[in-house]
Amino acid sequence: MNEKTNTVNASKITFTELMLPSHSNFSGKIHGGYLLQLMDQIAFASASKYSGLYCVTASVDTVDFLNPVEIGELLTLKASVNYVGNSSMVVGIRVISENIKTGKVKHCNSSYFTMVAKDEEGNNAKVPTLILYNLEEVRRFYDCVIRINQKKKNKILEDKFDHTSEKSIENLSNFNVQLDIK
């Protein structure tokens, strides 16, 4: 069997960009949508570099904006493939900003993008088996397994949830909502 393999290191990408006024929102901070665009680009680059194939975004796990990014700061995104399935890869992304004047570095967010490799016809394509070389790579791989399993459990719970049941209607009183169904 001549199965293709690749390493986490083969997927590593670092991207740094100066944050300009044109990237800001109405409050003078860098727009979250712009950060998401950069994150999607680096996820594509990492997954494509790893797989050697064109990749598309299948899902984005939680993106928590931990600290605002200011105009004039250097924004650095670091990405690597943390997990592979048959045609999918989970790319971990860490975003930090650095104040050029003070040297202060802030962790802005971390996120996980699930990317899917495509062949020339647009069909899902098999990706190389991931070789893990150290315990940090093993930890990141298992963290992805845990997140994937949690998403599956949540989907099962959602599929079983009946919003029309009497109990569900009664539970609405626990929320800041008023029921006015006609």
Q: What pLDDT sits at residue 170?
A: 82
CA 11, CA 115: separation in Å to the nearest integer? 13
**Three-state DSSP class for 126?**
coil
Indicate whether 163 pLDDT > 90.
no
Report the range of poorest mean pLDDT among 90-99, 147-156, 164-173.
Answer: 164-173
* Beta pairing class for 54-60 and 88-98: unpaired
**Is the backbone of residue 59 left (phi > 0), alpha (psi -120 to 50) or beta?**
beta
Q: In the predicted model, what is the mean pLDDT of the chain?
A: 93
Q: What pLDDT sits at residue 179?
A: 79
Indicate whether 156 pLDDT > 80.
no
Report the range of poorest mean pLDDT among 36-40, 65-69, 85-89, 160-164.
Answer: 160-164
- Show the DSSP H helices in the chain as ranges: 32-51, 135-160, 166-171
Query: Could you tell me which residue, 167 or 21, shows the higher pLDDT?
Result: 21
- Cβ atoms of residues 112 and 92 within 8 Å: yes
**Three-state DSSP class for 3?**
coil
Residue 23: partners with Cβ closer than 8 Å, 6 or more residues away: 30, 31, 34, 71
pLDDT tens digits for range 63-72: 989 999 999 9
CB atoms within 10 A of CB 141: 17
Q: What pLDDT sits at residue 159?
A: 75
Q: What pLDDT sits at residue 153?
A: 86
Residue 55: partners with Cβ closer than 8 Å, 6 or more residues away: 44, 47, 48, 89, 115, 116, 117, 118
pLDDT tens digits for range 34-44: 999 999 999 99
108-133: average pLDDT: 96
Using only the alpha carbons of the chain, give its radius of gyration.
20
pLDDT class for 2, splitting at 50, 70, 90? low
Query: Could you tell me which residue, 64 or 163, shows the higher pLDDT?
Result: 64
Q: What pLDDT sits at residue 164?
A: 82
Longest dimension (CA), the chain: 64
> Hey, what domains does the chain have and what are their CATH numbers?
5-132 (3.10.129.10)
What is residue 67's DSSP assignment? S
Query: Could you tell me which residue, 165 or 129, shows the higher pLDDT?
Result: 129
Q: What pLDDT sits at residue 3?
A: 87
